[in-house]
Structure 1
Amino acid sequence: MNYFGLLDYIFMGGYLLILLGMGFYLKRLASRSLENYICGGRHIPWWMMGVSGMANFLDLAGTAVIISFLFMIGPRGLFVEFRGGAVLILPFMMLWAGKWHRRSGCLTLAEWNIFRFGDNWGGRFAQQMIVISVILFTIGMLAYLIIGAGIFLSMFLPFSPMACSIGLIGLATFYNMISGFYGVVYTDLFQSSIIIAAVIYISIKAFGITDSAEQISAVAQQVTGTADWISGMPRWTVDMPKGYEAYRPLMAIMGLYLVRTIFFGAGSGGDQRYFGARNDRECGMLSLFWTVLMTLRWPMMIGIAVLGLFAVHNLLPNHDAVAQASQLIQAHYPGTEGQAWDALISGLSHNPASYPAELIDQLKTLLGTDQFSGKLQLLSSQGTINPEKILPAVLLISVGEGMRGILVIALVAAALSTFGSTVNLTTGMIVNDLYKKWIRPKASTRELIFASWASVAILVIAGFFFSVTLKNINDIWGWLMMGLQSAILVPMFLRFYWWRFNGGGYAFGCLGGLVATIIQRAIAPELNEGWQFVITLAGGLAGAIIGTYTTQPTDPEVLKNFYLKTRPFGIWGKLKQQLPEEERIKVSKEHSRDLISVPFALLWQITMFLLPMLALIKNWKGSIITFVLWLIGGIGLWFFWYRHLPKTNFYED
């Protein structure tokens, strides 16, 4: 079945031509130097990097995961995404983590470790461990993007999920290989305009689908079984379908995710955008703009969830038929689940003639012949509606030709933006901190650019190999956030706040966390995210403490240079006392304002994301309460932080 019309193909073809044209044009700028390739030569305006950050965080697979939770439990799905999708690390990057990295003058996070620990065995060990950690995380992230792109595109195209992923990721690989960080930022700017158009269209369409919140709540009750779907208040427990039972204790899950995010946020900020910023003020401004733009994601996602509720309600009102159809497929193909199930459903939908006629006839009897393919795509192996398919299902069922092409482009653009930023950051570390540092110190710029291209290709190939071992996008997203990314949480946090923490502690902390999470994944892949986090954290903490106290402290001169340039708060012994009294007062005021601003920034961001969702579903009482809380957070953030931002830097170089 062809889901696209002529207008759709014109829009999609034009998008691809513009993207490739920008890639070839920006190749010239990116190839001038390694600094240009990695962070744009520090010439890109802060507002463009803020737009790029938004496009980077608005990925296709993550959007599908968040929509699945919004579909199941309403606006409360935001609280599940405290694990990563709500990007609560942004306040910490905005208030201090971003500027602390920029002050180093480094190109990459790995190079920053030399600045922090010294160019000795400890610093170099720490440098290489973060390279290894980021490579592993990137491979996992690419696998996650590959699965998400495959599931999404296979609903529209007559190909398997893996074939769709190969086509999309192949295009993204070629484009990002040649254009570097310039390509990331400038195409993010172009792609963001498409994303904004999609947000406006979906929001208007979802807002007009019904006259009241009560109607939405009634339909949601019938489709998902969730009571009070329209509420934005977290509850102790929520109703969840098969396969998602681990998220029923919502408050406990939310609290765990929030603790993890606070610690990770306080140790983050090593993004290329901060290394590419020109001063402290730009670090704060790009983060502020980045956060505001991220708000656009949420009305689009709740809008798709609402459209999904009504689409499922109209298409599949009989839940027993859904379960029976799933059981029928399982009877013909026993044991099929995960990616194999997605591939099977795609085949049944697009090429029914290739499967037993008896099976197809029985499925049509159960589901009906009208929009049979769309109904079939919504089946999960659990005998329920597959919430991860709501995003593409809405585009198939609720969006007409022409606009369907634009929305598909917008979501593909989101996937390519995330891919580009992730790969660029990792490639920069591989070339600058591994290849140039150890293999070819005197390599020419041309050779380093070619090494960057090779790095991109190797990362993508590894991502494809890893993707075939995964079950679904929520499975890998949970492990990435609570396992693999948390493996470096302890060393990333301690490097800022404890003077005694050294290169050995950092390296062994990363190693301990990585070993713990990889063993957990190999032995107990079904373990819930809470225990994944505990095991990974314990491994990282043990490694960090053992490494710190079994190796020599950081050279006092290196430590002094780091402190005087960075000016962090925490346990810094006598280093702060070496500052002149006037400087100590100034530093203390900056630290106090940053710390006091944290709860206001978190309140402001969470309510800013929640407010448009509640308004779109016409929950006016909840919208008013949320608006008041947003004002409180915003006023506190302005009073304690924004009005004190300097014109350039807090301290003279």
Structure 2
Amino acid sequence: MNERSAKALLDLSQLDLGIVGAYFIIVIFAGLYLSRRASKGISDYFLGGHSIPWWVMGASGTASNLDMTGTMVIVSFFYATGLQGFWVAMRGGVGLPLGILMTFMGAWLQRSNVMTTAEWMTLRFGEGGGGNAARLLSAISNLIVTVGFTVYFCKGTGKFLAIFLPFSPDTCAVLMVSVGLIYTMASGLYGVVYTDLIQEVLLIITAVLISYKAFTLPDHAQLLAEAGDKWMALAPQWKAEPMTWLKDPGIYHLFGLNVIFWVARGVLEGAGGFTGGYMPQRYYAAGSERQAGLLTAEWIILLSLRWTMVIGLALLGLHIARGAPELARVLLADPEKTLPIVLGKVMPSGFKGVAVAGLVAAAMSTFDSTINAGASYWVKDIYQRFINPKASDKRLVWQSYFATAVTAIVALVTALAIENINEIWSWITGPLSAGLFAPIVLRWYWWRFNGEGFAIATAAGLLTAVMVKIFAPSLPLYIAFPLTSGLSLLGGVIGSYATKPTPSGVVAEFYKQLRPFGLWGKVRQELGLEHETVSKASGEARRALFNTPLAMGFHLAIFLAAIHIVLRQWARVGWLTGGALLAAAILYVTWYKHLPPEPAKTPPPSA
């Protein structure tokens, strides 16, 4: 199948183009409509004035998680390897940190009462040299990661849209960035979350359409029989066959070890609150601890629909390959073509437009959330903190517009200048992120960890990750992960003990405000806290440690149950659903019933 015939297969009708165009118009006008609310100040621009309903932010988080490029990659693994693709998605697509955010980390982030993770460093380490170094380093690293994520968005989205539209990938990327930039720059977090709500509705419709199409295939049973037991095997395999479509076909040969480190990475992300710029932002913007917990529960439940769509696309790919040997050869050589070929071959006119608009919505929701959160680091942690501390609200809002635009433009120009970002992306999500885990986690659980230790641990992790990229780019994850994280941990411990502790007053205020568990006994002792306060903190810690495995089990069970519904594997659906319901029942008693009530609203002053 040549490029031209593939393109013809996937051309959109006038009706489909009209649906996609209508989607663009709706989100632009929705964002512009909300622009006046965001212009009051940077708290409104980046946190929605803490007034956005929790259910809107939960839906927004789900939409932001469901990025289009990542979905194409996950579908390719499901098509080629079957249910083993779910374990590959532990790299990030499953959203493993959400269980931890639901049970305690979301509440800790909300209690922080900050706008950005970089500002959080001042809360934890104070305003001295160590605190300022940690804050500046955090702001810069978050800006770099924001640009990296946005480059990934631009490149992947451009390639996807070019399959359907009569434009080059670069032109499609410019189109998408321009549309997203218009409403995101104008309306800040208000525009992000409310347009995400529209986009989430569209994504739900898309997931239902694709899942139903796969579920009702006339050759459903034959497809699974021909795919074989290995394709249907749910337990992660210890060794994987060469994945010939990848640049390094043997990179996941020791598949079981990779799964262990992917799971460890997800747990550390959650335990450190290190979950991408837009995820912490939802908790900083939440109006209360209760809302932080509820939005995460909604986030997990809605995200299960992604997996009905993913397995549906993979199953439809098998159906197409079964009846078209030419397309089967295309998909064997490059499984990443599964998603666009399925949309072009299986979905009728009208439905195809809805599906394409839904996947565009997935891309846009990731883009808008990422650049809005990223811009906050420039405005709050660099411009206001170090350049113009006395800036007015109006000037800060203009800086917000500036930072949002520049972030998007820099990422777009970078995307247009490079051919392939897969290696860079693998490095960012592999050795680089592993090198940041030690300082990100230690900051919560060890009182003696200080700003200097954070800076040294971060520098050690970054330096090791760069060395791995230059001298050992093919180093397997199960070696690169412990190497970079281990050296970072060593640097953080040595750096903390080699320098003065964070001032006791700063540490004490941090503990009283957030009540984290871990190695805080010395601080509790020095504070001389009342028995009731200590008992409350201990109770929170016990419930968090008990509820977290339950929440993560519930999370995985509903995702896997959703997959097996589309596969019509009713025995598995039964025990997975039963496990999810049991976990939910226990969590109702041990988690939901202990959520603090909404704080009383202060009545407006009388005239």
CA–CA separation in structure 2 for the residues paired with 1:257 and 1:520: 18
Alignment deviations for residues 209-260 of structure 1 (CA, whole Å, 9 cap, x no partner):
14554x2224435xxxxx4312323222343431243224332221111112
> Where in structure 2 are the equivalents of 1:39-438 lying within 5 Å?
39-210=47-218, 212-213=220-221, 215-220=222-227, 227-242=229-244, 243=246, 244-268=249-273, 271-316=280-325, 322=329, 384-438=332-386
> Where in structure 2 are the equivalents of 1:470-509 lying within 5 Å?
475-509=423-457
Q: Cα distance 1:154–1:539, how it changes in 2: closer, same or farther (>3 A)?
A: farther
Letter in 2 for 1:10: G
CA–CA separation in structure 2 for the residues paired with 1:549 and 1:285: 39
The answer (yes or no) to whether the contact 2:87–2:236 under 8 Å persists in 1 is: yes
> Hey, what does 2:45 align to over in structure 1?
37
CA–CA separation in structure 1 for the residues paired with 2:423 and 2:559: 24
CA–CA separation in structure 1 for the residues paired with 2:255 and 2:53: 40
Letter in 2 for 1:597: N
Q: Cα distance 1:26–1:523, how it changes in 2: closer, same or farther (>3 A)?
A: farther
Per the TM alignment, residue 472 of structure 1 is displaced from its structure 2 partner at its CA by: 5.5
> Hey, what does 1:14 align to over in structure 2?
22
CA–CA separation in structure 2 for the residues paired with 1:521 and 1:464: 23
Question: Match of 1:633, SS?
Answer: helix
The answer (yes or no) to whether the contact 2:290–2:595 under 8 Å persists in 1 is: yes
CA–CA separation in structure 1 for the residues paired with 2:223 and 2:376: 47
The answer (yes or no) to whether the contact 1:74–1:231 under 8 Å persists in 2 is: yes
Question: Match of 1:587, SS?
Answer: helix
TM-score under structure 1 length normalisation? 0.85
Q: Cα distance 1:487–1:138, how it changes in 2: closer, same or farther (>3 A)?
A: farther
CA–CA separation in structure 2 for the residues paired with 1:553 and 1:72: 52
Alignment deviations for residues 331-383 of structure 1 (CA, whole Å, 9 cap, x no partner):
xxxxxxxxxxxxxxxxxxxxxxxxxxxxxxxxxxxxxxxxxxxx5xx5xxxxx
Letter in 2 for 1:82: M
> Hey, what does 2:3 align to over in structure 1?
none
Q: How many residues align?
A: 583
Q: Cα distance 1:69–1:60, how it changes in 2: closer, same or farther (>3 A)?
A: same
CA–CA separation in structure 2 for the residues paired with 1:574 and 1:135: 35
Question: Match of 2:93, SS?
Answer: coil
- Of 384-393 and 54-63, the range deviating more from structure 2: 384-393
Q: Cα distance 1:539–1:171, how it changes in 2: closer, same or farther (>3 A)?
A: farther
The answer (yes or no) to whether the contact 1:281–1:646 under 8 Å persists in 2 is: yes
Letter in 2 for 1:284: G
TM-score under structure 2 length normalisation? 0.91
CA–CA separation in structure 2 for the residues paired with 1:420 and 1:532: 32
CA–CA separation in structure 1 for the residues paired with 2:63 and 2:573: 26
Report sequence identity in percent.
38
Q: Cα distance 1:510–1:448, how it changes in 2: closer, same or farther (>3 A)?
A: same
The answer (yes or no) to whether the contact 1:139–1:463 under 8 Å persists in 2 is: yes
The answer (yes or no) to whether the contact 1:172–1:419 under 8 Å persists in 2 is: yes
Q: Cα distance 1:520–1:57, how it changes in 2: closer, same or farther (>3 A)?
A: same
The answer (yes or no) to whether the contact 2:384–2:390 under 8 Å persists in 1 is: yes
The answer (yes or no) to whether the contact 2:24–2:179 under 8 Å persists in 1 is: no
Alignment deviations for residues 450-483 of structure 1 (CA, whole Å, 9 cap, x no partner):
2222222332333245446877676454333223
CA–CA separation in structure 1 for the residues paired with 2:466 and 2:187: 33
Per the TM alignment, residue 85 of structure 1 is displaced from its structure 2 partner at its CA by: 0.9
Alignment deviations for residues 280-337 of structure 1 (CA, whole Å, 9 cap, x no partner):
1111111111111111110011101111122233233697xx4xxxxxxxxxxxxxxx
CA–CA separation in structure 2 for the residues paired with 1:633 and 1:75: 23
Where structure 2 has 5 or more consecutive residues not aligned to the other structure, the ranges are 1-7, 601-607
CA–CA separation in structure 2 for the residues paired with 1:459 and 1:422: 10
> Hey, what does 2:5 align to over in structure 1?
none
Per the TM alignment, residue 202 of structure 1 is displaced from its structure 2 partner at its CA by: 0.5
> Hey, what does 2:576 align to over in structure 1?
626
CA–CA separation in structure 2 for the residues paired with 1:614 and 1:474: 30
Q: Cα distance 1:523–1:449, how it changes in 2: closer, same or farther (>3 A)?
A: farther
Letter in 1 for 2:271: A
Question: Match of 1:295, SS?
Answer: helix
- Of 452-461 and 403-412, the range deviating more from structure 2: 452-461
Per the TM alignment, residue 84 of structure 1 is displaced from its structure 2 partner at its CA by: 1.0
CA–CA separation in structure 2 for the residues paired with 1:170 and 1:485: 29
2:501 to 532, 537, 553: 553
Per the TM alignment, residue 522 of structure 1 is displaced from its structure 2 partner at its CA by: 3.5
The answer (yes or no) to whether the contact 2:32–2:191 under 8 Å persists in 1 is: no
CA–CA separation in structure 2 for the residues paired with 1:529 and 1:146: 26
Alignment deviations for residues 375-397 of structure 1 (CA, whole Å, 9 cap, x no partner):
5xx5xxxxx42122211111111
> Hey, what does 2:492 align to over in structure 1?
544
Q: Cα distance 1:141–1:117, how it changes in 2: closer, same or farther (>3 A)?
A: same
1:612 to 562, 579, 582: 562
- Of 525-534 and 546-555, the range deviating more from structure 2: 525-534
The answer (yes or no) to whether the contact 2:100–2:552 under 8 Å persists in 1 is: no
CA–CA separation in structure 1 for the residues paired with 2:30 and 2:343: 28
Per the TM alignment, residue 572 of structure 1 is displaced from its structure 2 partner at its CA by: 0.8
Alignment deviations for residues 401-422 of structure 1 (CA, whole Å, 9 cap, x no partner):
1111111111111111111111
The answer (yes or no) to whether the contact 1:111–1:433 under 8 Å persists in 2 is: yes
Q: Cα distance 1:456–1:520, how it changes in 2: closer, same or farther (>3 A)?
A: farther
The answer (yes or no) to whether the contact 2:34–2:187 under 8 Å persists in 1 is: yes
Per the TM alignment, residue 626 of structure 1 is displaced from its structure 2 partner at its CA by: 1.9
> Hey, what does 1:339 align to over in structure 2?
none
> Hey, what does 1:367 align to over in structure 2?
none
Letter in 2 for 1:220: A
> Hey, what does 1:517 align to over in structure 2?
465
1:576 to 510, 524, 527: 524
> Hey, what does 2:605 align to over in structure 1?
none
Q: Cα distance 1:251–1:593, how it changes in 2: closer, same or farther (>3 A)?
A: same
Letter in 1 for 2:314: A
Alignment deviations for residues 22-50 of structure 1 (CA, whole Å, 9 cap, x no partner):
12211111111110011100011111111
CA–CA separation in structure 1 for the residues paired with 2:297 and 2:501: 37
The answer (yes or no) to whether the contact 2:261–2:481 under 8 Å persists in 1 is: no
> Hey, what does 2:604 align to over in structure 1?
none
Per the TM alignment, residue 192 of structure 1 is displaced from its structure 2 partner at its CA by: 0.8
Question: Match of 1:603, SS?
Answer: helix
CA–CA separation in structure 2 for the residues paired with 1:65 and 1:80: 10
Where structure 1 has 5 or more consecutive residues not aligned to the other structure, the ranges are 222-226, 323-374, 379-383
Alignment deviations for residues 92-127 of structure 1 (CA, whole Å, 9 cap, x no partner):
111111111211221111111101111111111111
Q: Cα distance 1:529–1:461, how it changes in 2: closer, same or farther (>3 A)?
A: farther
Letter in 2 for 1:516: T
Question: Match of 2:546, SS?
Answer: helix
- Of 2-11 and 556-565, the range deviating more from structure 2: 2-11
Question: Match of 2:333, SS?
Answer: coil
